[in-house]
């Protein structure tokens, strides 16, 4: 199978629906759907042997390749519009490609995000998506907007994906329907939450590298400090029974959960709690933004907790 046959068979789904022009030309042509909107652009790459093992279920990979990008759009409050896909493949394995495309288009269709182009080459397995979203002008949720006095919130639960990785590293078998493993392989981008937070939150980020590290990015960009109340941090199932140091490492340093971490003025507390109920997604108030720099974790007595929890860094 040649390059163009491969593209036609697995990735070309006919004329674009939302874009002015999709696959097949030198560029795609993309038009915002509403007037007075800003286009949000993000790129994420998944590298075989680094972000996933070469024998990872291809359908899950198709899901995750787009999901991590949709999570970035969610963290800006952007609604998904379209994406491009650049892939390097060691060989044209039709079964692998069919499963990958199935996972990819299932989540693409669910979030109405259209594939409009890409690039295909032979090489070590590498999957790169660039996603485009749309947000009303001035309404994007940026990292640099947190203010002292803001509440600190996080959606869902933390540490599930890191727990699955921990179990894999220990060589422990776990079932495909295991919640932690699902979180690692099929993360759910919080797109509806991000959109609903446009007028409730001040700053936001998605938790991709770990709570402490990602909160650190917000602190740095906003030139503020933050305090996390350890007992308010929502722990994923299976974490609570672990030894304390491991529990803290997974929940505070574990990446890949793709929950939204956001700050908001205290007068929005009731509205945010109501939003969590209406979306069926728990939103936990886990601390506050303070003057100063850096993120601290406070224990049950309000004392600074010493933790070795570290977030993921490719070059550390
Ligand atoms: P060019 O030579 O102009 O870069 P290509 O020959 O690489 O174009 O690709 C042909 C068309 O197929 C382009 O419209 C490109 O966007 C699209 N395309 C290539 N690879 C993919 C892919 N993996 N997924 C979606 N579209 C792709
Ligand atoms: Mg090309």
pLDDT by residue, tens only, the chain of 316 residues: 899 999 999 999 999 999 999 999 999 999 888 889 999 999 999 999 888 877 789 999 999 999 999 999 999 999 999 999 999 999 999 999 999 999 999 999 999 999 999 999 999 999 999 999 999 999 999 999 999 999 999 999 999 999 999 998 888 766 666 889 899 999 999 999 999 999 999 999 999 999 999 999 999 999 999 999 999 999 999 998 999 999 999 999 999 999 999 999 999 999 999 999 999 999 999 999 999 999 999 999 999 998 777 777 777 6
Q: Is 162 in the pocket of ligand 1 (CB under 6 A)?
A: no
CA 100 – ligand 2 centroid, Å: 20
Instruction: Kindly report the protein residue whose alpha carbon is nearest to atom 9 of ligand 1.
Output: 119
Q: Which two tokens stand for residue 161?
A: 């994906």
Q: Is 129 in the pocket of ligand 1 (CB under 6 A)?
A: no
Q: Is 89 in the pocket of ligand 1 (CB under 6 A)?
A: no
Q: Is 117 in the pocket of ligand 1 (CB under 6 A)?
A: yes
Q: Is 19 in the pocket of ligand 1 (CB under 6 A)?
A: no
Ranges of beta strands (E only) in the chain are 37-47, 79-89, 114-122, 126-136, 151-155, 203-206, 225-229, 260-264, 283-290, 294-298
Separation of alpha carbons 195 and 157, rounded Å: 20
Q: What is the pLDDT of residue 269?
A: 98
Ligand 1 atom nearest residue 26's Cα: 3
Q: What is the pLDDT of residue 173?
A: 65
- pTM of the entire predicted model: 0.95
The Cβ-side half-sphere exposure at 222, using a 13 Å CA radius, reads: 31
Instruction: Kindly report the protein residue whose alpha carbon is nearest to atom 3 of ligand 1.
Output: 26
The Cβ-side half-sphere exposure at 195, using a 13 Å CA radius, reads: 13
CA 24 – ligand 1 centroid, Å: 6
Instruction: Kindly report the protein residue whose alpha carbon is nearest to atom 16 of ligand 1.
Output: 117
Q: Which two tokens stand for residue 279?
A: 């979306």
């Amino acid at each position: 199978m040649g390059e163009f046959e491969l593209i036609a068979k697995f990735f070309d789904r006919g004329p674009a629906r939302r874009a002015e022009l999709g696959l097949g030309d030198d560029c795609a042509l993309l038009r915002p759907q509403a007037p007075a909107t800003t286009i949000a652009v993000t790129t994420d790459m998944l590298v075989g042997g680094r972000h996933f093992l070469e024998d990872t279920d291809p359908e899950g990979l198709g899901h995750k390749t787009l999901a991590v990008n949709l999570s970035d759009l969610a963290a800006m409050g952007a609604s998904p519009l379209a994406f491009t896909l650049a892939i390097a493949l060691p060989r044209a394995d039709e079964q692998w490609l069919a499963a990958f495309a199935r996972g990819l288009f299932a989540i693409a269709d669910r979030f109405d995000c259209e594939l409009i182009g890409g690039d295909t080459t032979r090489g070590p397995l590498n999957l790169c998506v660039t996603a485009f979203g749309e947000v009303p002008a001035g309404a994007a949720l940026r990292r640099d907007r947190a203010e002292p006095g803001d509440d600190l919130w996080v959606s869902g639960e933390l540490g599930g994906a890191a727990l699955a990785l921990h179990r894999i590293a220990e060589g422990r078998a776990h079932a495909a329907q295991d919640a932690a493993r699902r979180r690692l392989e099929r993360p759910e981008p919080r797109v509806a939450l991000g959109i609903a937070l446009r007028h409730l939150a001040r700053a936001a980020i998605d938790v991709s590298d770990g709570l402490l590290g990602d909160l650190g990015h917000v602190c740095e960009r906003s030139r503020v400090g933050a305090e996390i109340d350890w007992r308010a941090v929502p722990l994923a199932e299976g974490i609570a029974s672990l030894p304390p140091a491991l529990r803290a490492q997974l929940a505070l340093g574990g990446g890949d959960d793709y929950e939204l971490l956001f700050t908001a003025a205290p007068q929005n507390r009731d509205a945010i709690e109501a939003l969590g109920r209406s979306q069926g997604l728990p939103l936990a108030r886990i601390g506050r933004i303070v003057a100063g720099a850096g993120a601290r974790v406070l224990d049950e007595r309000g004392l600074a907790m010493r933790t070795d929890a570290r977030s993921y860094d490719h070059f550390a």
